[in-house]
């Protein structure tokens, strides 16, 4: 926490979920964030809570998420990403308290234009013998 910042700070995701009405996962995927949103965090969010995942499917324990949604321990969810894309668990689609989006949160005209320009800029840099703007290891 930073001194003088008027916002609540939580070192623990489960504690933060208990304080929240809506919990949005917007983090990178990988080993460090796998199942960051656990059964305990979903339970803490509660039957009136809403979980939204716009990060990576691995960030949430999907089995725990399905269980929480089906049992009413979690109120609702909005999912843009899934553990096994494009084969999302079909049980999500059957739930009335879930909104599914096909991993398309960045699908705006402006974003696609910028993505296209970045590809062109990287190609120009490559063929000019210059470093890429966004190298991938």
Active site residues: 56, 85, 103
- How far is the CA of 54 from the CAs of 23, 51, 94, 130, in angstroms? 11, 10, 20, 33
What's the rounded Cα separation, in Å, for the pair 108 and 110? Answer: 5
Distance of CA 36 to the CA centre of its chain: 11
Helical segments of the chain, H only: 13-19, 39-45, 62-71, 90-93, 109-127
Q: List the beta bridge partners of residue 77.
A: 51, 98
């Amino acid at each position: 926490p930073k001194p003088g910042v008027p916002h609540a700070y939580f070192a623990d995701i489960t504690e933060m979920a208990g304080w929240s009405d809506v919990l949005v996962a917007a983090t990178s995927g990988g080993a460090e964030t796998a199942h960051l949103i656990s059964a305990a965090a979903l339970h803490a969010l509660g039957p009136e809570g809403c979980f939204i995942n716009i990060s990576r499917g691995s960030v949430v324990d999907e089995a725990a998420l399905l269980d929480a949604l089906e049992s009413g321990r979690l109120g609702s969810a909005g999912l843009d990403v899934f553990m096994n894309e494009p084969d999302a668990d079909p049980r999500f689609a059957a739930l009335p308290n879930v909104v599914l989006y096909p991993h398309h949160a960045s699908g705006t005209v402006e974003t696609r234009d910028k993505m296209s320009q970045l590809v062109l800029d990287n190609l120009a840099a490559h063929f000019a013998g210059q470093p890429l703007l966004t190298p991938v290891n």
